[in-house]
Structure 1
Amino acid sequence: MELFRNEPALAPELLQLVSGIKPPEYEQISHGSETFTDCNPTEYRCDSTVLLGNPKRPDLAIVVEVQRKPDERKRFSWPVYLSTLRARRKCPVTLLVLCPNKRTAAWCREPIESGHEGWVLRPWVLDLTKAPAVTDLNKARSLPELTVLSTIANADGPDREAVLTAFAEALEVTDRDKGELYHDYVRSQLSEAARDCLEEIMQAGTYEWQSDFALKHIAEGKAEGRIEGEVKGEIKGEIKILLIVLESHGFTLDGDLQQRITTCQDPQQIQTWARRAATAETLDEIFD
Structure 2
Amino acid sequence: MVGSAHEAMHRLFQHDPGVFARAFRALELPFDDPAEVAVFTNDLTEIRPLERRVDTLLRITTVRDGPFLLLVEAQGRQDQDKPSAWAYYLAHLHAKYRLPVVLLVVCQDVATAEWAAEPINIGLSQWCSLTARPLVLGPHNVPVVTDPDLAAADIPLATLSAITHAKDPDIGAILKTLADALHELDNEEDFHVFAELTELGLGSTRAAKTWSKLMSVDLSFYRSKTSQRLRAEGRAEGRAEGRVEGRVEGRVEGRLEEIADKTLRLLEARGIDVAAADEEHIRSCVDPEVLDRWFDRAITATDVSDLFAE
Instruction: Tell me which of the two structures has the higher relative contact order, counting C-alpha pairs closer than 8 angstroms and 6 or more residues apart.
Output: 1
TM-score scaled by length of structure 2: 0.47
Instruction: Find the structure with the greater CA-based Rg.
Output: 2
